[in-house]
Structure 1
Amino acid sequence: MVHVREMLEVDIEAVSAIRVRGWQAAYAGIVPQSYLDAMTVEGDAGQRRQSFSQPRRTSRDLVALGDRGPVGWICFGPCRSDMPDMRRVGETYALYVSPDLIGQGIGRRLLGEAHAQMKGQGFEASALWVLCDNQRARRFYERAGYQADGAAQDDVYGEITLTELRYQRVL
């Protein structure tokens, strides 16, 4: 059983561990292994502390707490697109669950709470970006009502360029 609450500064190390381990598990065979191997919890936590303390931060962070502390994390906020038709759209920037707990409903719980909060903030839809080759994540988001909307962007990881697809759903 997990419950969801706002992320606190004390959660940063645990969230960074979830994110780094999540990347290393989810993107193995997609993102270059050298890139994944170079990721550290300490480096991620340092960046997270810096962004978490920004006074004008518009993103929200939630954690799923289990009996061992944080076991999942979601970050969301206004859509980062500068297109006028995206002003009423929220965006899920990141969603990670401890790799050993994937499939237990934690991601669905976090996403549901983020959707409720986005709707409460006046957003009419939610968007997110997912690596084209990450079939597991694409299936997860499609089951949650998201559909690819035709937008794509490329990201460079080490020496490899990977394509991300944008998904959207009505809230």
Structure 2
Amino acid sequence: MSRAGAVVVRRATPADAGAIATIHVDAWRHNYRGLIAETTLAGLDVAARAAAWRSQLDAGTVVFVGTHADIRTDTQADTRAGELLGWVSVGPFRQSESARPEVRSLTPGWAELYSFYVAPRAQRQGVGHALWQAALEWCLDQGYRDLGLWVLADNVPAIRFYQRCGLRDLGLDQDFTIDAQPLVEKLMARTLASPV
């Protein structure tokens, strides 16, 4: 467990699956409004996501969760100590057969930040930075020298956050679909030798 400011970060357990799923759905609906079809966002199912996360956590997927002892929102003081405010999942870079050859040749031995979400009400309060630091420390402890991630090409706030964390756009995009909606994501990466 580590502390970054008032944010406490720890490794997730299967008992966290429900809270992780709730943040996952809430963050998608908030962050991807206007980027992903409203019908897709409305159809997100917290119970199904919780079951999937429970299974992944049971299997050992690395997820760090952030909690806060006393957060202030625009409308009220919130003192629900220990409540999850965000999470990040990280592990070895996934090699897809459908990935561009440049990506497949570039990323062996890299770590990948699989997903990273902060509850909408807790954004811009240091939770994301604390989770980033935990993921970075884990990667370094595991001996990774490079970290990559895929981000929606139109998700400007996320791209700016990752740039502040030292990642750069590698100019490698890939197309994918969600519920038949064509989308583009870009590969961002950084060397882990220099902390941010």
Q: Match for 1:65: what amino acid? A: T
Deviation, 1:84, is 4.8
Counting only pairs closer than 5 Å after superposition, residues 13-92 of structure 1 correspond to structure 2 as 13-54=18-59, 57=60, 59-67=61-69, 68=80, 69-81=83-95, 83-92=104-113
Q: 1:164 aligns with which of 158, 162, 185?
A: 185
Larger radius of gyration: 2
Is there any run of 5+ residues in structure 2 with no aligned partner, and where? 1-5, 70-79, 97-103
Percent identity (aligned): 31
For 1:51 and 1:162, locate their aligned partners in 2 and report how far apart those are by CA, in whole Å.
25
Residues paired across the two proteins, number: 168
Is there any run of 5+ residues in structure 1 with no aligned partner, and where? none
Deviation, 1:49, is 1.6
Q: Is the 8 A contact 1:88 1:122 kept in 2?
A: no
Q: Which residue of 2 aligns with 1:136?
A: 157
Deviation, 1:153, is 1.2
Q: Is the 8 A contact 1:3 1:65 kept in 2?
A: yes
For 1:89 and 1:159, locate their aligned partners in 2 and report how far apart those are by CA, in whole Å.
30
1:102-158 superposed Cα distances (whole Å, 9 cap, x missing partner): 111111110111011101101001100000110110111011111011221112122
User: Would you say 1:7 and 2:12 are equivalent positions?
Assistant: yes
For 2:91 and 2:111, locate their aligned partners in 1 and report how far apart those are by CA, in whole Å.
6
Deviation, 1:50, is 1.9
